[in-house]
Structure 1
Amino acid sequence: MPLQRVHFAEDVPEVFRASLQDIRTELEVPAEFPAEVVAAALEVAAQPRLPELDRTDLEFVTIDPPDSMDLDQAVFIERAGDGFTVYYAIADVGAFVQPGDPIDVEARKRGETLYAPDKRTPLHPPELSEGAASLLAGEVRPAVLWTITVDATGEGTDVLCQRALVKSRAKLNYAGVQEELDAGTASESLQLLREVGKLREQRELDRGGVNLPIPDQEVVASDGEWTLEFRAPLPVEGWNAQISLLTGMAAAHLMMQGEIGILRTLPESPDDLRRKLENTAKALGISWSAETSYAQFIHGLDPKVPAHAAMLAACTVLFRGAGYTSFAGGVPEHPQHAAMKAEYAHVTAPLRRLVDRWTSEICVALSAGAEVPEWIRESLDDIPKIMDEADRKAHAYERSIVSMVEAGLVAEHVGATFDGVITDVDEREETRGVVALSTLAIEGRVTGTSPLPLGQQARVKLTEADIAKRTIAFELVG
């Protein structure tokens, strides 16, 4: 499931800091790296295993938030006839980490990088993730280089995955790139990023796929009260994400052909999920006709509109149940990611996600017609279990942080009444359910003295808002 990121416009208040630390303690979020892991990272940072192929001639750039230093991906696109060649360089963690070494052992315990408003808990030591392995501008780096041929319609037609030396020319940020594109001053490669990105977005819509442009949430203090504002993703963020999705689908194709790999899979959504989301849309004043599919509805939302941004955040439940499926000597019975309506694999964020190191190694071997390393085969079935547990922790971390912030937003209003819509009712006890407030992008538990009116407008009173417990509760009025 896509994660919701919560930021604070200013320093995190002390009352939240204490709760954040409680959350980390409860979920056993790891703290600093052990000394032997840091020592190993420093040693390999000075002597990575470098590939022979040199593609430092390609004018790669990275595009990330301004404060990011763990730069997994660099992109360069050129026109090829009536189509395109997409070069996508991915940080080569395998050039630094050996199976069974202290860095590998610790990474398997962590699974993925965790994010909170006050700190980041990385998968790999910063000496690697923000230093020697990161695709920093002006530095020659080992990378897994994806060369993908794309036709005039945006369809990928050929792929090559190999190790190479690359050199990023610039560390760009989304706002700066969007400004250059809008002004017409962007490089040809960035203009082609927009062109390919738009083609891929249309292909996604045509096949009924969903890629949620999840807005970041920012807590802003004004006149002594906190409010929650949404930062809508810029168009370039969607175009950049489409290059990552294109690569993930190419990787899935390689692995399916080679009959070995790890896919990101998702079963079809249960029928009652749409009913709940329709009720949420009603609470937010958004029309959703019976003839409109999930994909059409979501593609029609504008993240710049607060109610639409809140709806996009609610739609993350569509990705609930996503997991990892490993296979060898055949292909999975259900290989598709239902939300994307395609086979897909995670390969583009190895600095922040463990599984990407495995899938990258598999794709490099398959693309070269070589044997997949034995250590990959031996550990293939372990990675889905590690990643599923890491995902559970990441989502529990996210939910706890969001619940903490929401409780803080309304903590001073216990006893006040609000308008909302009952979005869900407990099947076993119809006097209990969930209400979505119409004026705030907040959901909470609600109880009544009679069955709750599912999908209907309701007046509710806030009875509890506890930051430390991260709980919000309402009762039906009248």
Structure 2
Amino acid sequence: MPLQRVHFAEDVPAVFRTSLQAIRNELEVPAEFPPEVVAAAIKAASNPRLPELDRTDLEFVTIDPPDSMDLDQAVHIERTGDGYTVYYAIADVAAFVQPGDPIDVEARKRGETLYAPDKRIPLHPPELSEGAASLLPDKVRPALLWTIKVDGSGEGTDVVVQRALVMSRAKLSYAGVQKDLDAGIAQESLQLLREVGKLREQRELERGGVNLPIPDQEIVASNGEWNLEFRAPLPVEGWNAQISLLTGMAAAHLMMYGEIGILRTLPESHDDLRRKLENTAKALGIAWPVGTPYAAFIHGLDPKVPAHAAMLAACTVLFRGAGYTAFSGGVPERPEHAAMKSEYAHVTAPLRRLVDRWTGEICLALCADVEVPKWVRESMDEIPKIMEECDRKANAYERAIVSMVEAGLVKDHVGSTFDGVITDVDDRDPARGVVALSTLAIEGPVKGTQALPLGQPVRVRLTDADITRRTVAFELA
């Protein structure tokens, strides 16, 4: 599920720091790495298993937020006839981590990297995730090198993945790349990233797929109050994401053909979810014409518009219920990821997500026409359970942080009234439900003295806002 990232423009205030630590304690989020895991990481960092194939000739670059050091992916694109060749290097975690070693055991407990405004809880020790395994510039690194042929329409036509040595030439930021592209001075590979990214976005729209451009939420202090601002993703962030999605779909096709793998799957959303989102759109003053499908509606949103940014954040519920499906000796009955309208697998973030180490090894074996490693086959059924439990914790972590921030935004306005729209009503008690405020990107429980008017504008009074308990509550005014 896409993450809602919350940032503070300045240092995180003490009251929020206390609440954030309380959230980690409640959810039993792991703290520091045990000494034996750190020791194993230091040893592994100095002795990786290196491949024979050397592709340090390819001029890879990484594109990430400026403060990122856990660099999973590096990209290089060339024009090939009427189409393109996409080279995508993915950090080779298995070159450092052995099945059953302390790093592997700890990673299976963590599952994925967790993010909060005050700190990041990594999947692997920084000695690997931000050091020896990260695709840092001017460092020769072992990687899983994906070579994907793309035709002139943006459709992938051929794929192979193999282990190789690579070297990134530069650690680029999204803002810097966007600036160079807009100025017409970006290197050819980045110009081709724009071309391929746009083609892939069009393909996505045609098949009815959804890839949410989730805006970052930034908390800004002004005149003693906190305000929520949205930072819209830059176009290059979407184009870069399309390369990751292209690779994930190619991986899924490899696994389906080889009848072994782990897919990321999502069932079709139900009518109640659409009704709730339509009501949220109404609360935010956004038209959703009758009969317009999710994909067309979402593709029409502009994350630079605050109301649209809030709507995109609300649409993350479309991805809830996503899971992992392991299979061998056949193909799953329902392999599709409903939001993407395609089969899909996670393979591009092994430094930050456990399952990617397994899917990467499966695709390597299928491309080399060799047997999938025994350790992968023996633990395949375990990984979906681990990942789904970790996803639940990550989602709970995210929701708790968002709830904490929402309470902080309105904590000084208890007793004040706000305009909103009833987005949901409790089936068991129709006098209780959920209201979305029209002026703030906040939803909260609301109660009345009679059945709430679902989908209708209302005036509500804030009755509770507590940062420590991370609660807000309203009543009909």
Give the TM-score normalised by structure 1: 1.00
Match of 2:22 in 1: 22
- Listed as ranges, the gaps of 5+ residues in structure 1 are none
Q: What is the alpha-carbon distance in structure 1 between the residues aligned to residue 277 and residue 196 of structure 2?
A: 31
Give the structure 2 partner of residue 78 of structure 1: 78
After TM superposition, the structure 1 = structure 2 runs for residues 10-409 of structure 1, keeping only pairs within 5 Å, are: 10-409=10-409
Per-residue CA deviation, residues 34-81 of structure 1 (Å, 9 max, x unaligned), is 000000000010010000000000000000000000000000000000
Cα deviation per residue 1:336-387 (whole Å; 9 max; x = unaligned)? 0000000000000000000000000000000000100011110000000000
Q: Give the whole-Å Cα distance in 2 for the aligned partners of 1:278 and 1:104.
A: 44
Matches of 1:272 and 1:27, distance apart in 2: 29
* Aligned twin of 1:410: 410
SS in 2 for 1:147: strand
> Using the alignment, how far apart are the partners of 1:428 and 1:213 within structure 2?
35
Gaps of 5+ in 2: none
Deviations for 1:135-165, whole angstroms, at most 9, x for unmatched residues?
0000000000000000000000000000000
The code of the aligned residue for 2:466 comes to: D
For 1:357 and 1:25, the matched residues in 2 are separated by 28
Amino acid at match of 1:275: R
TM superposition score normalised by structure 2: 1.00
| Aligned length, in residue pairs | 477
Q: Distance in 2 between matches of 1:354 and 1:433?
A: 37
AA partner of residue 16 (structure 1): F
Offset at 1:292?
1.1
Partners of 1:288 and 1:343 lie apart in 2 by: 28
Distance (whole Å) between structure 2 residues aligned to residue 204 and residue 11 of structure 1: 39
The residue type equivalent to 1:152 in the other structure is: G
User: Quick check: 1:453 aligned with 2:466?
Assistant: no
Task: Return the offset for 1:425.
Answer: 0.3
In 1, the alpha carbon distance for the partners of 2:310 and 2:439 equals: 11
Cα distance per residue 1:236-275 (max 9 Å; x no partner): 0000000000000000000001100000000000011111
Cα RMSD, aligned residues only? 0.4
Q: In structure 2, the residue corresponding to 1:475 is in which secondary structure?
A: strand
Shift of 1:3: 1.0
Task: Quote how far apart the aligned CAs of 1:193 are.
Answer: 0.1
Letter in 1 for 2:455: G
- Mapped to 1, the partners of 2:160 and 2:277 lie a distance apart of 40
Instruction: Quote the offset at 1:291 in angstroms.
Output: 2.4
2:450 match: secondary structure? coil
- Partner Cα distance (1:432, 1:148) in 2: 52
What secondary structure, in the 3-state scheme, does the structure 2 residue paired with 1:460 have? strand
Q: Comparing 165-174 with 284-293, which one deviates more in the overlay?
A: 284-293
Distance 2:315 2:78 in 1: 35
Output the CA distance in 1 between the equivalents of 2:370 and 2:201.
34
Name the SS for the 2:214 alignment partner. coil
Q: Distance in 2 between matches of 1:205 and 1:427?
A: 35
Measured against aligned partners, the alpha-carbon deviations of 1:281-326 in whole angstroms (never above 9, x if no partner) come to: 0000000001211000000000000000000000001111000000
> Which segments of structure 1 move beyond 2 Å, counting only runs of 4 or more?
none
